[in-house]
Structure 1
């Protein structure tokens, strides 16, 4: 499965340090961030990152599950973020009330953070949080622009990338 991270047009120096106070890289993500149908609160994790390069037009946040039983990774969240920001609080990717400076785009099945809900007995899933500092504003000419475009069209239109960062979390359905 190909993550946004692996797309050639999204390569750049990995100079953004992306972290979360809610989980460490390669460690489990707390259940509070899981989908409501699994008893979670569908609360997007808090994120923090280093300052983007001064030429950054906007930041693109992509959250993917490459372990989903699908042809392409399941996109749990897709957002454009003001380049002056260096973090998001818990719940900032909420479809009902996104955080300041956040423009929510379509994910694989909705808008905003889609809480983790892997299939039963499917083992641990990786949730890959990827942040890209875009040199130019994302432009999509289809009706509705970036907000209404399919996630893969958004990813194809993104770039060039000045810097990027990544953190991976794990979640397994009990």
Structure 2
């Protein structure tokens, strides 16, 4: 597997197609997103990584500053921007009650989401999927992006219900303008 990682070393999705760079998700960076588990730009702990690489697949603790007035819902998007694909892989997509202020460890679980958390489909399945980059591919950046939405996603026009929509189909339906946003980047390498 290390050989495959080395062969794909120069192939990475990059920032261009992240949720952060979608025109209708641009907005003022009024929020601050932090974690008890890692600092911005630091290594994500193994407990927050996939089980098949020795982790617990436990979503990290996340906290944020109060969202702007008029925020109807928060949207959390976690993307691996170094995956060797054309677009970043979505490791978690969730809607969060703006009154929550934080999500505890494991709150992004598909089976047992935390209070005020509604987990949606990711690239792999539903709920949080921890880092598990290809061995030898180098460091992968996992970008946790939080958006303060002016309306709930349930009110967005879509052909597929929010709970069943794939991330790349759902993200373009997010209501604009975004009232505020923040991001936190963690790194993991095998």
* TM-score (ref. length: structure 2): 0.88
Equivalent position SS for 2:70: coil
The answer to whether the 8 A contact 2:58-2:130 is kept is yes
Q: How much has 1:5 moved relative to structure 2?
A: 0.5
1:141 to 158, 167, 170: 158
Distance of 2:159 and 2:24 partners within structure 1 = 21
Deviation sequence 1:48-76 (CA, Å, 0-9, x none)? 00011120110000000010011110000
Matching residue of 2:35: 20
CA distances 1:59-115 after superposition (whole Å, capped 9, x unpaired): 000000010011110000000001111110010001110001011110001000011
Runs of 5+ consecutive residues of structure 2 not aligned to the other structure: 1-13
- Is 1:159 the equivalent of 2:175? yes
> Structure 1 runs of 4+ off > 4 angstroms?
none
Q: Secondary structure at the match of 1:147?
A: coil
Partner of 1:131: 146
More strand by share: 1
Bigger radius of gyration: 2
Distance 2:179 2:100 in 1: 16
C-alpha distance in structure 2 between counterparts of 1:59 and 1:154, whole Å: 14
1:6-27 CA-partner distances (Å, limit 9, x unpaired)? 1111011100000001000000
How many residue pairs were aligned? 172
CA contact (8 A) 2:80 2:140 kept: yes
Partner of 2:105: 90
RMSD (Å), alpha carbons = 0.9
User: Which residue does 2:120 correspond to in 1?
Assistant: 105
**Once the 2 structures are TM-superposed, how far is the Cα of residue 159 of structure 1 from its aligned partner?**
2.6
Q: Which structure 1 segments of 5+ residues have no match?
A: none
Is contact 2:158-2:173 (8 Å) kept?
A: no
TM-score, normalised via structure 1 length: 0.96
Q: Distance in 1 between matches of 2:66 and 2:169?
A: 27
The answer to whether the 8 A contact 1:18-1:165 is kept is yes
- Indicate conservation of the 8 Å contact 1:3/1:64, yes or no: yes
Verify the 8 A CA contact 1:75 1:108 in the aligned structure 2.
yes
